[in-house]
């Protein structure tokens, strides 16, 4: 009698272990593949995409290279030179990638010598313009990497 009971109890143990092992293996496999396919979430210009120091550098360049046409208040001359802020900016750039804005600026400005500044300096200028439009600074500098810039969407600022 005792022998039969022992055998009855011994039988299910390995069976349960196999199921548990399979469950653990499946969970691990599922987790691994999920991580592999994970893409970084899209950010927006509202998420603190530049630093204050970077915007300050951008301002210095702006006052040397851009102020003559776009003016100190960044609103241009209301004739030939467009405003870089406010509705002019939002109307043209809302929902576009920050990369498109960066490239547009690099390829056309300063008007007398487009592309004459370094990539980093154009990023500094973008940072300065964002800061003037009321987008908050963050802890990481705005990158010049096309992939990173392409993941940042332009949303209208809190002040507009």
Interface ranges with ligand HEC (CB under 6 A): 65-66, 68-70, 80-82, 84, 88-89, 92, 105, 108-112, 125
Q: Which two tokens mark 13? A: 């143990």
Scan for tokens 């241009």, then name that residue: 76
Smallest separation, CB 28 to ligand HEC (Å): 50
- Cα distances from 80 to residues 66, 70, 73, 83, 116, in angstroms, run 14, 10, 16, 10, 22
> Cα separation of 94 and 89, whole Å?
8
CB of 84 or CB of 98, closer to ligand HEC: 84
CB of 44 or CB of 81, closer to ligand HEC: 81
CB of 48 or CB of 82, closer to ligand HEC: 82
Smallest separation, CB 126 to ligand HEC (Å): 8
Smallest separation, CB 88 to ligand HEC (Å): 6
Whole-number CA gyration radius for the chain:
28
> Cα separation of 94 and 96, whole Å?
5
Q: Which two tokens mark 149? A: 């810039």
Query: Residue 88 burial by CB count (10 A; 0-12/13-18/19+): exposed, middle or buried?
Result: middle
Smallest separation, CB 26 to ligand HEC (Å): 52
CB of 33 or CB of 118, closer to ligand HEC: 118
Smallest separation, CB 44 to ligand HEC (Å): 18
CB of 110 or CB of 144, closer to ligand HEC: 110
């Amino acid at each position: 009698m005792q022998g039969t009971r022992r055998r009855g109890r011994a039988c299910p143990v390995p069976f349960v272990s196999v199921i548990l092992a399979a469950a653990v293996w499946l969970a691990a496999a599922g987790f691994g593949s999920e991580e592999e396919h994970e893409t970084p979430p899209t950010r927006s210009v509202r998420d603190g995409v530049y630093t204050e120091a970077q915007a300050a550098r951008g301002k210095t360049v702006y006052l040397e290279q851009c102020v003559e046409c776009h003016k100190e208040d960044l609103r241009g001359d209301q004739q030939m030179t467009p405003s870089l802020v406010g509705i002019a900016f939002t109307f043209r750039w809302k929902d576009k990638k920050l990369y498109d804005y960066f490239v547009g600026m690099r390829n056309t400005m300063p008007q007398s010598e487009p592309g004459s500044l370094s990539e980093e300096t154009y990023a500094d200028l973008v940072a300065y313009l964002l800061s003037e439009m009321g987008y908050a600074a963050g802890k990481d500098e705005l990158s010049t990497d096309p992939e990173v810039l392409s993941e940042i969407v332009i949303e209208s600022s809190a002040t507009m």
